[in-house]
Amino acid sequence: MGIPTQARERFKHWSDVIVSQTRSVSANQDHHATNMEMTDYFLALIDERRSQPGRDLLSTLLSAEIDGKN
């Protein structure tokens, strides 16, 4: 996918929070905060991969074309 090694623990935490089955009020607040943090991270990573593509899934998806359009 292209997640840098130094971000993998944080990514694991985000995925654990997002897929947890707890639905208490505090858990919903955690889910919202985690979703926002993860969204901000991926938006920055997408910008980085657009300007400096790598050999990873995200770069491949960003360079994909459908009917000749990105």
CA angle (59 as vertex; 66, 61 as ends), nearest 5:
30
Residue partners of 46: CB distance under 8 A and separation at least 6: 58, 62
Length of the chain: 70
pLDDT tens by residue, 8-57: 999 899 888 888 766 666 667 778 888 899 999 999 999 999 999 999 99
Instruction: Look at the pTM and tell me if it is higher than 0.85.
Output: no
Cα–Cα distance, 47 to 5 (Å, whole number): 18
Exposure string of 6-32, with b = 16+ CB inside 10 Å and e = fewer, is eeeeeeeebeebeeeeeeeeeeeeebe
